[in-house]
Amino acid sequence: MKKTEKNEEEKTLLNENSAENQKKAESQKEETLEEKLKITQDKLLRTMAEMENQRRRFEKEKEEAFQFGGFNFARESLLLLDNIDRAILSFKNDESLKINKDLNKIIDGIEIVKKDIISIFKKNGVEPISCINKKFDPNFHQAMLEIEDDTKEAGIVIQEIQKGYMMKERLLRPSLVGVTKKKEEKPKNTTKDGKKTEKKVDKK
């Protein structure tokens, strides 16, 4: 084989190899670009999802702030109703005031103020909790004492010590209550072996 033919053959092989290498490089480059594009798309989707979650959280917080913005104020204002009830009860039980002809007018005036406060509370979603003769519920009631009563099952609210309130679906203040319990049976006098003891009567 002549040198020229050999050189040409070598050149052809080199060209073919370089073409193949170029194709491989281009395909690797394409794969790399596709991978980068996928990674970028994933990051974009995650960012959008996070932004949507933040938007929902913000909307929820804004709604709660609107609904319950006066929560603490309403809870503190309940003391006004407590004091008004105490004042009315005090006036009614005061023997020295009972002889006063204007006592009923004074009480009526206080009752009007009380009704106005209750009306304002109601407009803002503040409602009293109904608890008498209801089953004790720790989510709404706070037991202050137990009262023996065999006419009702145990755990029934039969006394309201302080009225509880709800603000829409949120507990503003629990009801302070007295609940029923069964009367405890007094143990009979028994000896260590469980036999009843009998009182001895002294014979004279």
Q: What digits encode the pLDDT tens for the residues 126-153?
A: 999 999 999 999 999 999 999 998 888 8
pLDDT at 202 over 60: no
Which ranges in the chain belong to alpha helices (H)?
3-68, 71-93, 95-98, 103-123
pLDDT tens-digit profile of 28-57?
Answer: 655 687 888 888 888 888 888 888 888 888
Looking at the fold, whether 120 and 132 belong to one and the same domain comes out as no
- Is the same domain home to 97 and 134? no
Q: Is residue 203 part of a domain?
A: no
At residue 204, the pLDDT reads: 43
The answer, as to whether pTM is greater than 0.75, is no
pLDDT-based confidence at 17, cuts 50/70/90?
low
Structurally, the chain folds into a number of domains equal to: 3
pLDDT in tens, 87-139: 999 988 888 887 888 888 989 999 999 999 999 999 988 999 999 999 999 99
Confidence tier at 178 by pLDDT (50, 70, 90):
very high
Q: Does residue 163 belong to any structural domain of this protein?
A: yes
Domain, as residue range, for 102:
70-124
Q: What is the spatial distance between Cα 136 and Cα 145, in angstroms, rounded to a whole number?
A: 12
Residues 62 and 85 grouped into a single domain: no
Q: How many angstroms separate the CA atoms of 81 and 110, rounded?
A: 11
Average pLDDT, the chain: 79
Task: Note the pLDDT of residue 35.
Answer: 83
DSSP 6-52: HHHHHHHHHHHHHHHHHHHHHHHHHHHHHHHHHHHHHHHHHHHHHHH
Highest mean pLDDT pick, 144-148, 179-183, 196-200: 144-148
Tell me the longest C-alpha to C-alpha distance in the chain.
Answer: 157
Domain harbouring 174, CATH code: 2.30.22.10
